[in-house]
Structure 1
Amino acid sequence: MVDAFCATWILVDSQNLDEYMKALGIDSAIRQLGSVAKPSIVISHEGDKVVLKMLGSVIRTEISFKLGEEFDEITADGRQAKSIVTLEGESLVHIQRWDDKETKIVREIRDGKMINTLTFEGVQAVRTYEKE
């Protein structure tokens, strides 16, 4: 099922990202950059590891993980999180935990697009990507 996500994805729509980042406690300068950035996401797998790269003009991140195994992650905004990604049905569910807090990113494929729903303390953002 991870194969369905393996592609280069280009951001085409973003809703409520500023409010989500504000809830996370991200300062206004970084929120402004995040709101105008149009990053691409490259998802691939190498053996039993999934590799997810976010490629933006300012911020670039890369994580490599095995499904269902916790790993250390430094998020795009610099949080040091303990993360886990699982396959739930046809969705990749990415949980990041830090300082007794938790955010959830659900990635799913709908109508050929990858929909990323980010949720933190009841605040939700939705980012839509199309294959390159």
Structure 2
Amino acid sequence: MIEPFLGTWKLESSENFEEYLEQLGVAPTLRHLAVLDKPIISIRGSEAQLSIKIQRSFKTTEISFELGKEFEFDETTADNRKVKSIVTLDGGSLVHVQKWLGKEMTIKRQVVHGKMIAKYSMNNVVSTQTFGKV
């Protein structure tokens, strides 16, 4: 069931995001910008083909993919990491795993009471962001 995720979402609140970005190795200046930013996420498509576009004040990224298939190309993240990714639908959660240089991070998105809750995890550090539908 991908339908609950479809649409446009704007960040409403964020917890522990700077600590998470530090685990990724993001430079202090970019971490500061990212913490202050209120990104807009647009999720479009169907279970066969999805796209996720994230608009930030400093950079916009977009990925298109098939659920359950590792991306055929390297995804370039907002902080310019080149990663291999796979996105799956697991028990009502949209799970995005990125791998690079022997490292791995996960974004788990769920829709709860009309809000999209995104949990970003790396090295036992978890950041939670809440998005409202626009």
Q: TM-score, normalised by structure 2?
A: 0.96
- Identity of matched residues, %: 44
Does residue 1:81 correspond to 2:77, yes or no? Answer: no
The CA deviation string for residues 49-79 of structure 1, in whole angstroms up to 9 with x for no partner, is 1010001121100000000000121111110
Question: 1:128 aligns to what?
Answer: 130
Q: How does 1:46-125 map to 2 (within 5 A)?
A: 48-71=48-71, 72-125=74-127
CA distance in 1, matches of 2:69, 2:16: 30
Gaps in structure 1 of 5+ consecutive residues: none
How many angstroms does 1:48 deviate by? 2.1
State whether residues 2 and 46 of structure 2, in contact with CA within 8 Å, keep that contact through their aligned partners in structure 1.
no
Q: TM-score, normalised by structure 1?
A: 0.97
Q: Unmatched 5+ residue regions in structure 2?
A: none
- 1:16-49: per-residue Cα shift (whole Å, max 9, x none)? 0000000111110100110000010000006821
After TM superposition, what 4+ stretches of structure 1 lie above 3 angstroms from structure 2?
none
